[in-house]
Amino acid sequence: MRSGPGLCVFAGVLFCSLVPTPVCPMALTESDPLKRLAYRLYHTLPREFGKGHLERAQSEGMLPKASLEDGKVYVGYCRNATTARWDGKRERFVYQRTKFHDTFEEDIVHPEDDLGFDVFVPVGEAKN
C-alpha cells in the first residue's frame, strides 16, 4: 500500500480519502470542470439509478434526457468515454471507442434508461 496527501493505492486501485469510491487518475488531473463533475456524479450515484437518485444527479448538474438535442456532442462520463453524441432517434449516446488498436462506434444509454449496465452521465454541451 502506497499513500500520499489524501491518496492511497491498494491492490492497484487508487483511492482518495475524501471520496468513498476508487478514483481514476484522470479525475485528479483533469482541468475541465465539466469532466470532473461528470466523473464525480458517475461514481457517487448508486449503480441502479432510482427516481430520487436521478433528481439528485440533475440538481447537481446532470442533464435530463428531455433536454438533449439530436446530433449534439456532450461532455460527460462513462467507463470508456468523456464525450458522446446524442442520437435522438435511437435515444442513445454514441462515442468512438478504441480497443486493441481498433476504433469503432459504441452506443450507451442515459441514466434515465439504466438497464443495470454502464451509462453515460451528461453534464454539458461540448465546445467545438
Residue pLDDT, tens place only, 84-106: 999 999 999 999 998 898 999 99
Determine contact, residues 35/28, Cβ cutoff 8 Å: no
Tens-place pLDDT, residues 36-70: 888 888 877 665 556 678 888 888 899 999 999 99
Q: Is the pTM of this model over 0.85?
A: no
**C-alpha span between 84 and 76 (Å, rounded):** 8
Within the chain, where are the H helices? 25-29, 33-44, 51-59
**Domain boundaries, given as residue ranges, for the chain:** 1-30, 34-125
pLDDT in tens, 6-20: 444 444 444 444 444
What pLDDT, on the 0 to 100 scale, is given for residue 25? Answer: 47
